[in-house]
Amino acid sequence: MTSDRTASRLNRILAMLPYVIAHRGVTVDEVCERFGYNRSDLAADLDLVFVCGLPGYGPGDLIVAYIDGEEVVVDTAEYFADAPRLTPAEAMSLLASGMAVLASGQSSEPLERAVDKLAKVLLPEGNVIDVDLEAEPEMVAKLRMAAARRHAVEIVYTSIGREVTTTRVVEPWKVVSALGNWYLTGFCRSADAGRVFRVDRIRRLLETEEEFTLPSPIPDPEIRYVPAEDDIRCVIEVGSGARWVADYYPVEVLEDDGSLMRFEFSAPDPGVAANLLLRLGSAGRLVSGIEVGEALTSLRGRLLGVYRPTHVETKND
């Protein structure tokens, strides 16, 4: 059962985030005054928000939230741009799950009201289900056809991390729907490896006449952040108290003796790793990665510039 303290904290976070997002450049003092924070509690809540996002938990899937000098900064992942809407299948699954809990006798009054409202929307005639499915995007049909013909496709694709647009030749395996988006899985010849592409980020598609052989078996799609060739890479070492990093970020564990873990961290920008290292403090250490080290030094310098006391030179007459 959720404690009153936890519920109060969650309510304050949910009220604070939309305000900060809508008022870029808002100061720490203004947020503290408006929402009843002190600086340390605000920083703690922003740290909590920082590790929230969609499974995969790559840099492009999380919410970036921190205090920069006297400014509160919250940058949301791309999927926050539009209001979330359940697909018909997701809504029916949610309704079925809610009804299962009701049948178990372990439900609460708020859940009963929610299930009743959802049932009235999805089942307006009682036993009749009327679902209006949206048509698949045209790009999905073209990719599915190319995959069926075993034809390689040339795509112009904009990466999620750096918003860099490149032209690639891909051998399409499957087109799947997950997390509210359509994805293409296939062998990318530029990366010389299997890759996952968000269909809505494919700017142009050309089906070639070049045939390819499907791998056997076809790898299961892994919808998560996949490091790009031009990503920044560094090696970080953490103690036992910071092993959670390996669960929240797409890392490659290099060494792990139970007390110390060393892993390779990939991100589209060195600032992502620098922010992580700053938050880890003494629990994390940068082993290698020149660009990340420079970004971390710069970040520390800016913070010291904010908190270092100003000395006023005085003269005695």
pLDDT, greater one: 116 or 89: 116
Distance in angstroms (rounded) separating the CA atoms of residues 64 and 46 = 9
Report H helices in 128-216: 138-149
Distance in angstroms (rounded) separating the CA atoms of residues 258 and 236 = 15
- pTM to 2 decimal places: 0.36
18, pLDDT greater than 50: yes
Residues 6+ apart with CB under 8 A from 42: 28, 31, 32, 67, 72
Place of tokens 């799947």: 176
Closest to 50 (Cα-Cα) out of 27, 31, 69, 75? 75
316, pLDDT greater than 60: no
Of the segments 22-26, 109-113, 308-312, which one has the largest average pLDDT value?
Answer: 22-26
Q: What is the pLDDT of residues 168-181, one digit of tens each?
A: 999 999 888 764 56
- Average pLDDT value for residue range 219-226: 64
186, pLDDT greater than 50: yes
Residues 6+ apart with CB under 8 A from 258: 240
- Average pLDDT value for residue range 287-296: 90
Check residue 163 and give its pLDDT.
61
Check residue 209 and give its pLDDT.
93
Check residue 314 and give its pLDDT.
44
Q: At 181, is the secondary structure helix, strand, or coil? A: strand
pLDDT, greater one: 248 or 313: 248
Task: Indicate the length of the chain as a whole number.
Answer: 317
59, pLDDT greater than 70: no
> Distance of alpha carbon 163 from its chain centroid, rounded?
15
37, pLDDT greater than 50: yes
128, pLDDT greater than 70: no
28, pLDDT greater than 70: yes
298: its two tokens? 């710069």
Check residue 56 and give its pLDDT.
56
- 251-256 sheet: strands from edge to edge: 251-256, 260-267, 232-239, 284-288
Q: What is the pLDDT of residues 67-80, one digit of tens each?
A: 988 999 888 755 56
For 233-288, give the DSSP string: EEEEEEEGGGTTHHHHS-EEEEEE-SSEEEEEEEESSHHHHHHHHHHHGGGEEEEE
Q: What is the pLDDT of residues 115-126, one digit of tens each?
A: 888 888 777 665
Residues 6+ apart with CB under 8 A from 141: none
Give per-residue burial for 264-273: e unless 16+ CB within 10 Å, then b. bbbbbbbbbb
Model confidence band, residue 156 (pLDDT cutoffs 50, 70, 90) = very high
Range from 72-76, 157-161, 266-270 carrying the lowest mean pLDDT: 157-161
Model confidence band, residue 132 (pLDDT cutoffs 50, 70, 90) = very low
One-letter amino acid identity for 217? Answer: P
Helix or strand run (H / E) with residue 305 = helix 290-307
Check residue 61 and give its pLDDT.
62
Give per-residue burial for 12-38: e unless 16+ CB within 10 Å, then b. bbeebbeebeeeeebebebbeeebebe
Question: What single-letter DSSP state applies at residue 159?
Answer: -
Model confidence band, residue 129 (pLDDT cutoffs 50, 70, 90) = very low
Distance in angstroms (rounded) separating the CA atoms of residues 144 and 184 = 9
306, pLDDT greater than 70: no
Helix or strand run (H / E) with residue 12 = helix 4-22
